[in-house]
């Protein structure tokens, strides 16, 4: 089902404000970590929002996602304060790690010949998890 204009607008507002909140938190506590919000998907009833984050360096990704998930109520409160004139209700936020850049990098390395040929041995490619 295609997203409505309202869903896209709310997703855009949430994405913009989430970038500010998360990057501000990263600047205070973690030097050398880049957090970007790659995608926000809002349900049709505007009650839930799935937030996909890309974190660099990737080895700190899982730990940071767990920290962000544990601080979801604080993040949601901050977003509600920022968007109080635009949204009546703040959607429930669910955070996920976006691994698409790593997946693309693995494919590029395989195609360039830096690693073993995936056509001859397809088991070397990691299976992508659907969420």
Number of domains in the chain: 2
Q: Are residues 93 and 110 in the same domain?
A: no
Same domain for 93 and 108: no
Same domain, 53 and 117: no
In the chain, pLDDT over 90 holds for what percent of residues? 44
Half-sphere exposure of 2 (CA within 13 A, CB side): 2
Q: Are residues 72 and 125 in the same domain?
A: no
Same domain (yes/no): 62, 117: no
DSSP H or E run through 28: helix 5-29
- 3 to 10, 12, 16, 45, 124: CA distances (angstroms): 11, 12, 18, 11, 36
Answer yes or no: do 44 and 73 share one domain: yes
CB half-sphere exposure, 12, CA atoms < 13 A = 8
Please give the model's pTM, rounded to 2 decimal places.
0.78
Query: pLDDT digits over 16-26, tens only?
Result: 999 999 888 77
Shared domain check, 88 and 24: yes
CA distance 97 to 102: 11
Are both 94 and 116 inside the same structural domain? no
Better pLDDT: 113 or 100: 100
pLDDT in tens, 31-53: 778 888 999 999 999 999 999 99
What's the confidence (pLDDT) of residue 99? 82
pLDDT score of 90 more than 70: yes
Distance CA 18, CA 37 (A): 7
Whole-angstrom Cα distance, residue 54 to residue 88?
A: 28
Residue ranges making up the domain that contains 125: 100-131
Looking at the structure, do residues 62 and 124 belong to the same domain, yes or no?
Answer: no
Q: Read off the tokens for 69.
A: 């998930």
**Domain containing residue 91: CATH number:** 3.30.300.20
pLDDT of res. 130: 65
């Amino acid at each position: 089902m295609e997203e409505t204009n309202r869903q896209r607008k709310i997703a855009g507002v949430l994405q913009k404000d989430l970038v500010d909140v998360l990057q501000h938190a990263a600047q205070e506590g973690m030097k050398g970590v880049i957090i970007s919000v790659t995608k926000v998907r809002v349900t049709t009833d505007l009650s839930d929002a799935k937030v996909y984050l890309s974190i660099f360096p990737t080895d700190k990704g899982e730990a940071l996602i767990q920290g962000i998930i544990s601080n979801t109520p604080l993040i949601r409160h901050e977003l509600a304060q920022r968007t109080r004139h635009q949204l009546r209700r703040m959607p429930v936020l669910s955070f996920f790690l976006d691994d698409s850049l790593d997946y693309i990098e693995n494919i590029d390395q395989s195609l360039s010949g830096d690693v073993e040929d995936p056509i001859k041995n397809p088991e070397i490619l990691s299976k992508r998890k659907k969420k």
